[in-house]
Amino acid sequence: MNFPKRTATCGELRLSDEGRVVVLNGWVHSIRDMGGLIFIDLRDRYGITQLVVSPDVNQELSAKVKELKQEFVVWAKGKVRKRENPNPKLPTGLIEVELEEFGILNKADLPPFEISDIVDVSEENRLRYRFLDLRRPSVQRRFIIRNQIYQIIHKYFYENGFIEVETPFLTKSTPEGARDFLVPSRIHKGKFYALPQSPQLYKQILMISGFDRYVQIVKCFRDEDLRSDRQPEFTQIDLEMSFVDREDIINVTEGLFKSLWKEILGIEINTPFPRLSFSEAITRYGSDKPDTRYDLEIVTLTDGLVGTNFRVFDEAIASGKVIAGLNAKYCANYSRKQIDELSELAQKYGGKGLLWMKKIDGEINSPIAKFLNEKAINSIQEKGKIENGDLFLIVADEWEKCYTILGALRKEIAKRTGILEKVNGKYEFLWVVDFPMFEFDKEENRFVAKHHPFTSPLDEDIHLLDVDPLKVRAKAYDVVVNGEEIGGGSIRNFKPEIQEKIFRLLQLSDEDINVKFGFLLEALRYGAPPHGGIAIGLDRLVMTLTDTDNIRDVIAFPKTTSGLALMENCPTFVEEKQLRELGIKIDI
RNA sequence: GGGGUCGUAGCUCAGCAUGGUUAGAGCGCCAGUCUGUCACACUGGAGGUCGCGGGUUCGAGCCCCGUCGGCCCCGCCA
């Protein structure tokens, strides 16, 4: 199809272009027919330009314009002129194009919703008609920023000597950790590839191969349930470096964030980022990804509550549990119902209940006050810095659970009291370090790696591997911004004997080790340099930089929370023939 | 695997607690009027499987059960 190609975009014409004859290509955004004068807003990715037709100039054209409907694709030729009534809301608002000639390149059905940032559309409809949703300027904006982010990343790592290498998508299934998406092999019936949860082992192999500095912006796949910040396929900035320790990875990462924040937001962020040990993050904020934009810290009460004769406390302490609390400032006016809601939240996180104390007019008011002596109450008041008008929440539970519950309450209180709103626009980064190497999995009755099994233990903790694995800390680090875990990495095991020892601690049999990770151990035996790296969640990074808490806003074609793609309708059943070729029988 | 919440016109929603003529609103759409609008305005009009299936009832958009789908969360996410 031959058509006049644009000589300008819909976003660029200004007063200085007055008198120019231009051709625009775009979509009919809206038509305002005043009876005589007709205004047409033409839209493309760059903006909106107003076209104007007046009947006394060209009646024929005026009649033809009435064929246009919204979202028709057109070319339009005309002269740029100064507007009689400028529109300050548009960058092109000082000019308009006096339409001389136009053609319809394609018609359009009436869209199910208006292509406008003003109109509210349910997410379901947005995803079903994603091709229309993605036409909306506010939706496009995030992808334009996402693209800028790609460019900054590529530039930053190129300038720092990193090599981009592509790693396979058809990989080996190693069902430690998340569930794998499996891809059946036709040639080897009954066998499966797995889509990578991360290119972890490939990048370590690249280090052993001497690539020294690797980076990749890469899709990763995890077959787990979705959340507002979790998709089954997502993008990581994956990097690995040789002859480094934790500080080198941290420096490189901080440098990247510095460039991104400066170039995208014009904000100079301070480095180095503060650091918290895992145990400090948990005990102070109740989270391994604390939002440090506000204080509202958790206080540990256990020591001051020994021997209170209050059954709940005594039993907790006797069984090695922890008692801790959170001061919800100025919340003493919370009703029974509001406190019940907080209690329900505590239960959602596995808590048995929530104790509380209010201070009003200098008096402590609490359902547990009658069980506690003055010394205990004073201890709580003092540690919790409880003042008039405060509501103090208390939880007694196992170490991590106790603090996690209070961490959830901390977030909730911040939300309810408007603290969260006040810190909007602030960015607080931090590193969480010294994670425990292992957790005990009650269901599987064995240790599992908290980060992943390729992580190196802290040198000073290596001797504990044989004695008390749960005490072993790892050379792992997470980078957190505003309470979002935005990246995580570690220094890896580069000595085969330590790697093997860790596999054994995870109760992998010799055969498992050999079948699943034999190639890694083999590679490690041929001169592996000390190495480590990090994976940064690109989608979450874009979320932060474009100020949204919905990951679907930054992914062009995302899945719904049940893992469906509503536009193309996927997943689907496949033809019997395809299954036969793969040697697969469906048994639902 | 579990919990919460929503599903009514093309879109966004009200109606449901306490079942009862012909299910409403705004926007959009269609027709008309209008020569400076820009969320144009005004007049008129069309438009409904109340997600789907079953049950209770004389009678169900409303109550009950199931199911499908959206969103949020717990578990899960090395």
Concatenating the DSSP letter of every residue in A342-409 gives HHHHHHHTT-S--EEEEEETTEEE-TTGGGS-HHHHHHHHHHHT--TT-EEEEEEESHHHHHHHHHHH
- The separation, in Å, between residue A424 CA and nucleotide B37 C1' comes to 37
Which pLDDT value is given to residue A120?
Answer: 87
Instruction: Write out the DSSP string of A119-144.
Output: S---HHHHHHTHHHHTTSHHHHHHHH
> What sign does the CA torsion over A468, A471, A476, A482 have?
positive
Q: Which nucleotides of B are covered by protein (CB under 7 A)?
A: 1, 10-13, 27-30, 33-41, 69-78
Q: Tell me the two tokens of residue A27.
A: 């979509």
Cα–Cα distance, A214 to A223 (Å, whole number): 26
The torsion region of residue A305 among left (phi > 0), alpha (psi -120 to 50) and beta comes to alpha
Q: Which residue is nearest to nucleotide B10 (CA to C1')?
A: A112
- The separation, in Å, between residue A486 CA and nucleotide B74 C1' comes to 22
Q: Which residue is nearest to nucleotide B42 (CA to C1')?
A: A34
Strand nucleotide closest to residue A196 (CA to C1'): B78
**Residue with tokens 């908290």, as numbered in its chain:** A450
**How far, in whole angstroms, is CA A437 from its chain's centroid?**
24
CA dihedral A142, A144, A149, A150 (to 10 degrees): 120
The torsion region of residue A342 among left (phi > 0), alpha (psi -120 to 50) and beta comes to alpha
Element at A414 (helix H, strand E): helix A399-416
Cα–Cα distance, A451 to A435 (Å, whole number): 8
- The separation, in Å, between residue A84 CA and nucleotide B36 C1' comes to 7
Segments of chain A with pLDDT less than 50: none
- The separation, in Å, between residue A531 CA and nucleotide B60 C1' comes to 68
Q: Tell me the two tokens of residue A426.
A: 């602030």
- The separation, in Å, between residue A321 CA and nucleotide B56 C1' comes to 51
- The separation, in Å, between residue A462 CA and nucleotide B45 C1' comes to 81
Q: Which residue is nearest to nucleotide B70 (CA to C1')?
A: A124
Strand nucleotide closest to residue A39 (CA to C1'): B37
**A393 Cβ contact list (under 8 Å, min separation 6):** A325, A326, A328, A342, A354, A355, A356, A406, A409
Q: Is A212 helix (H, G, I), strand (E, B) or coil?
A: coil
Measured at the alpha carbon of residue A414, what is the angle toward residues A413 and A418, in degrees to the nearest 5? 110
Q: Which residue is nearest to nucleotide B11 (CA to C1')?
A: A113
Instruction: Using alpha carbons, select from A427, A308, A430 the residue that is nearest to residue A371.
Output: A308
Cα–Cα distance, A526 to A561 (Å, whole number): 45
Strand nucleotide closest to residue A452 (CA to C1'): B78
Cα–Cα distance, A27 to A116 (Å, whole number): 13
- The separation, in Å, between residue A51 CA and nucleotide B31 C1' comes to 25
Which pLDDT value is given to residue A175?
Answer: 74
Which pLDDT value is given to residue A444?
Answer: 81
Q: Is A425 helix (H, G, I), strand (E, B) or coil?
A: coil
Q: Which residue is nearest to nucleotide B2 (CA to C1')?
A: A348
Instruction: Using alpha carbons, select from A565, A563, A567, A586 the residue that is nearest to residue A575.
Output: A586
- The separation, in Å, between residue A553 CA and nucleotide B51 C1' comes to 26
Which pLDDT value is given to residue A353?
Answer: 86
Which pLDDT value is given to residue A176?
Answer: 78
- The separation, in Å, between residue A133 CA and nucleotide B19 C1' comes to 40
**A304 Cβ contact list (under 8 Å, min separation 6):** A376, A379, A380, A382, A383
Strand nucleotide closest to residue A113 (CA to C1'): B11
Cα–Cα distance, A193 to A180 (Å, whole number): 9
- The bridge status of strand A429-433 relative to strand A182-184 is unpaired
Listed in sequence order, the DSSP H helices in A55-106 are 59-65
Strand nucleotide closest to residue A36 (CA to C1'): B35
Cα–Cα distance, A112 to A283 (Å, whole number): 51
> What sign does the CA torsion over A397, A399, A404, A407 have?
positive
Q: Tell me the two tokens of residue A367.
A: 């359902």
